[in-house]
């Protein structure tokens, strides 16, 4: 049996009991995780600190939605290497991010902790690299022909010039 003495040790024991009783695992309401043998998964978590829903298949396609304390939320969709993500922060600032399979990125968010002006970043390096490689391959295939066709003097004389 555990004997608790009054004073500093009692406060420590009470703090430890409270810390372990307030852990997210002990307060979990509904947690469901289903995984198939081929890589598909479904995950639903609903706890004290927020909720989460995630569905993913074996090809990496994913739909994810979650919310947390004070109205924070995150939503993400990934399909065939393309993705779109929205986030809502603690103070209500929203940010958006999109990427393509080629490596292009578009991101927009508010500066100054979500209160300032919106900053948008566009990175089209994926499209430019694909376009550059296509142009290089077209230049390599197109060989200029500077040589005139060969004709002999007898062929030139026998031709009908009109």
Q: Determine the pLDDT at residue 145.
A: 57
One pLDDT digit (tens) per residue for the chain, 162 residues? 444 445 555 565 566 555 555 555 545 567 888 888 888 899 999 888 889 999 999 898 999 999 998 889 999 999 999 999 999 988 778 999 999 999 999 999 988 877 789 999 999 888 888 888 888 876 655 555 556 556 665 555 555 555
Q: Determine the pLDDT at residue 130.
A: 80
Q: Determine the pLDDT at residue 113.
A: 74
Q: Determine the pLDDT at residue 144.
A: 56
Question: CB under 8 Å to 134, separation ≥6 — which residues?
Answer: none
pTM score > 0.95 for this model? Answer: no
State how far the Cα of 17 lies from the Cα of 3, in Å rounded to an integer.
14
Residue 133 backbone phi and psi in degrees, to 5 = -70, -35
Q: Determine the pLDDT at residue 3.
A: 45
Q: Determine the pLDDT at residue 157.
A: 59
Pairing label, strands 41-47, 50-56: antiparallel
Determine which helix (DSSP H) or strand (DSSP E) holds 110, and give its type and residue range: strand 105-110
């Amino acid at each position: 049996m555990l004997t608790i003495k009054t004073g500093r040790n009692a406060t420590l024991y009470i703090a430890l009991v409270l810390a372990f009783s307030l852990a997210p695992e002990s307060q979990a309401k509904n947690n469901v995780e289903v995984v198939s043998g081929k890589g598909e998964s479904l995950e639903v978590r609903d706890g004290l600190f927020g909720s989460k829903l995630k569905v993913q298949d074996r090809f990496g396609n994913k739909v994810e939605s979650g919310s947390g304390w004070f109205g924070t939320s995150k939503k993400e969709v990934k399909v065939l290497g393309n993705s779109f993500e929205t986030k809502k922060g603690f103070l209500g600032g929203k940010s958006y991010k999109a990427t393509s399979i080629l490596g292009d990125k578009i991101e927009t968010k508010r500066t100054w902790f979500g209160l300032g002006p919106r900053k948008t970043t566009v990175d089209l390096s994926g499209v430019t690299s694909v376009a550059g490689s296509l142009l290089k391959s077209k230049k390599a295939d197109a060989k200029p022909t500077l040589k005139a066709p060969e004709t002999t003097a007898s062929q030139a004389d026998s031709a009908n010039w009109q």
